[in-house]
Structure 1
Amino acid sequence: MRIALPNKGRLHDPSVELLERAGLHLVDGADRQLYARTVDDDVTVLYARAADIPEYVSDGAADLGITGYDQAQEADRENLVSLLDLEYGQCKLVLAAPEDGDIDDPADLEGGTVATEFPNVTRHYLEDVGVDAEITEVSGATELTPHVDIADGIVDITSTGTTLRMNRLAVVDDVLESSVRLFAREDVADDPKVKQIEMALSSVLSAEDKRYLMMNAPESQLEEVKDVLPGMGGPTVMDIAGTEDVAVHAVVDEQAVFETISRLKEIGASDVLVTEIERLVE
């Protein structure tokens, strides 16, 4: 089973880190070589440009790929399946135009020109909004094109909007919401190894905002403790030999930890320990 990862850029390090946290440690090739082995003899990593990964997966050079949803949509490959939103690399593709111009609505681009590095996504968007405009594909500096009379508007990636504002461009419409996803080729999406990898990555994401609470509590207060703890399926309770206390373990949301501990202390809990969770298989 071969997984294609971004070989550089802002998606490389988080993607490698996610595999490591999921237990698929890289044995070699971590320094962005073409291939890398993992601790699982059945899983190897292939490094490629983020934009090329959908094609690699679609054509069989890799079975799984980690890349942006925007890249997969631009590749326009029908045999790609999105298995999991990995919840990083969030951005948007937007339609933008000069802030001091007369384009305030997508319809204002009728008969005009749109410059973009994403011609397929842009074409589908224009079809959806019913606008007939020419698409000019560019490979960089998209924001400059309206100011040098190459295009009337652009479709480009933005995360904070800072670059658009610096180039005196205003967002006219949102085109596409994107984040990094785990993709598979349709014919292997149900393969047991693919499901195993999907579960491993999902377990890391599930643990992100959770904490593991351990404490001692009087057995007489156990029902009150259970009422306080929003555990997954209820807390785990164990007797403590030689005492009238019980040990209580539970998984709680990180945001609830502060209030939960305060309430537990009020009803007699002691020796409360909070730890991070590396993986959580639900």
Structure 2
Amino acid sequence: MCTLKLAIQKNGRLSEQSLELLKTCGIRLANGDRKLRATATNFPLEVLFLRDDDIPQYVEQGVADIGILGENEVLEKARNVATLDRLSFAACRLSLAIPREESYTGLRYFNNKRIATSYPRILGAFLKEQQIVAEIEEIGGSVEIAPGIGLADGICDIVSTGSTLLMNGLKEVETILRSEAVLIATPGIGPGPAAILEQLRFRIRAVHNAATHKYILLNAPDAALAEISTLIPGMKSPTILPLAREGWSSIHSVVREDIFWEVTGQLKKAGAEGILVIPIEKMIL
């Protein structure tokens, strides 16, 4: 039987969120306990646990059919892989940082400076584009300590909350790249794995749609139904059910969460009452 091979990071926040995505997609792993591989019991999927910076190479070479990793790693490794989907988790940014006590007046600060980073390709392209001449010190880890030990004048590193920079006496001064988890695929994926991949992407889209939408229920006077229906039109149109109370109806609709918050005041002004906002588990369009 054909199996789709997925590479994910073997530990860390991105790994946890990748496994949670599979779980939400209804995929159960027989062994997800940080061993080298795990097999799904109810879907033709095998998961390989790898270092995140090795995943692009494994996917390019077809050892894994697909991979989930940060977009920053995909761009830095520049392997021949296809980026299929942005997954809306593990958001971070690749930023320049300098010692907290330094005065920063703009990118020209970095002219003739040394910058420590694990992302020399991305940083080099950025500096070239900005016409900044700086020396890049490539190091594999603990980039944030480089200024403190005299290795560099500043750093270029991944930032999520900024707490690590603060602990090491640094401040973020420029954002080079905004990144999130992406799904990548080998360019030579076979027809069997490709068919399974489409099934997996279908599930991921259903989960993503559910996460960004909410099921809305509210009561409203019949005279306001037309106005409220234009505010929360749903996927095609809202469902309207008469209430036992004469002249009133219940409106059910599915709305993007950001849009709902924008029109809440208008709903109340139109006469809506008893508004309920309910999460959606899966949503298939």
TM-score range, shorter chain: 0.7 to 0.9
Q: Equivalent residue for 2:64? A: 62
Superposition deviation, residue 74 in structure 1: 1.7
Q: Equivalent residue for 2:119? A: 118
Superposition deviation, residue 29 in structure 1: 1.2
**Residues 95/222 of structure 1: CA separation in 2 closer, same or farther (3 Å cut):** closer
Answer with 115-124 or 245-254: which moved more: 245-254
CA deviation vs aligned residue, 1:83-137 (integer Å, no higher than 9, x gap): 2221121111111222334664333333332111222222222222223322222
- Is residue 87–residue 180 contact of structure 1 (8 Å, CA) maintained in 2? yes
Q: Equivalent residue for 2:176? A: 175
SS in 1 for 2:132: coil
Q: Equivalent residue for 2:130? A: 129
TM-score, normalising length: structure 1? 0.82
Superposition deviation, residue 250 in structure 1: 2.1
Answer with 62-71 or 103-112: which moved more: 103-112
**Residues 4/218 of structure 1: CA separation in 2 closer, same or farther (3 Å cut):** same
Q: Equivalent residue for 1:209? A: 212
1:276 aligns with 2:279: yes
Structure 2 counterpart of 1:70, one-letter code: N
- Is residue 238–residue 251 contact of structure 2 (8 Å, CA) maintained in 1? yes
Superposition deviation, residue 8 in structure 1: 0.8
For residues 86 and 190 of structure 2, what CA distance do their matches in structure 1 show?
A: 15
Please list, as runs of the form range in 1=range in 2, the aligned pairs for 1:83-98 lying within 5 A after superposition: 83-98=84-99
Answer with 121-130 or 55-64: which moved more: 121-130
Answer with 205-214 or 29-38: which moved more: 205-214
Q: Equivalent residue for 2:163? A: 162
**Residues 172/231 of structure 1: CA separation in 2 closer, same or farther (3 Å cut):** same
CA deviation vs aligned residue, 1:158-193 (integer Å, no higher than 9, x gap): 122232233232333211111111112234499333
1:80 aligns with 2:81: yes
1:194 aligns with 2:197: yes
Superposition deviation, residue 251 in structure 1: 0.9
Percent identity, aligned pairs only, is 33
**Residues 246/171 of structure 1: CA separation in 2 closer, same or farther (3 Å cut):** closer
1:31 aligns with 2:50: no
TM-score, normalising length: structure 2? 0.81
1:12 aligns with 2:15: yes
Count of paired positions? 276
For residues 242 and 101 of structure 2, what CA distance do their matches in structure 1 show?
A: 71
Answer with 258-267 or 222-231: which moved more: 258-267
Unaligned runs of 5+ in 2: none
For residues 219 and 106 of structure 2, what CA distance do their matches in structure 1 show?
A: 62
For residues 72 and 237 of structure 2, what CA distance do their matches in structure 1 show?
A: 40
- Is residue 81–residue 189 contact of structure 1 (8 Å, CA) maintained in 2? no
- Is residue 25–residue 203 contact of structure 2 (8 Å, CA) maintained in 1? yes
For residues 220 and 107 of structure 1, what CA distance do their matches in structure 2 show?
A: 63
- Is residue 83–residue 183 contact of structure 2 (8 Å, CA) maintained in 1? yes
Structure 2 counterpart of 1:205, one-letter code: H
For residues 66 and 109 of structure 2, what CA distance do their matches in structure 1 show?
A: 41
SS in 2 for 1:52: helix
**Residues 239/45 of structure 1: CA separation in 2 closer, same or farther (3 Å cut):** farther
Q: RMSD across aligned C-alpha pairs, in angstroms? A: 3.3
Structure 2 counterpart of 1:10, one-letter code: R
Superposition deviation, residue 208 in structure 1: 0.9
For residues 166 and 76 of structure 2, what CA distance do their matches in structure 1 show?
A: 25
Structure 1 counterpart of 2:205, one-letter code: S
- Is residue 203–residue 279 contact of structure 1 (8 Å, CA) maintained in 2? yes
- Is residue 96–residue 154 contact of structure 2 (8 Å, CA) maintained in 1? yes
Superposition deviation, residue 142 in structure 1: 1.6
For residues 236 and 150 of structure 2, what CA distance do their matches in structure 1 show?
A: 61
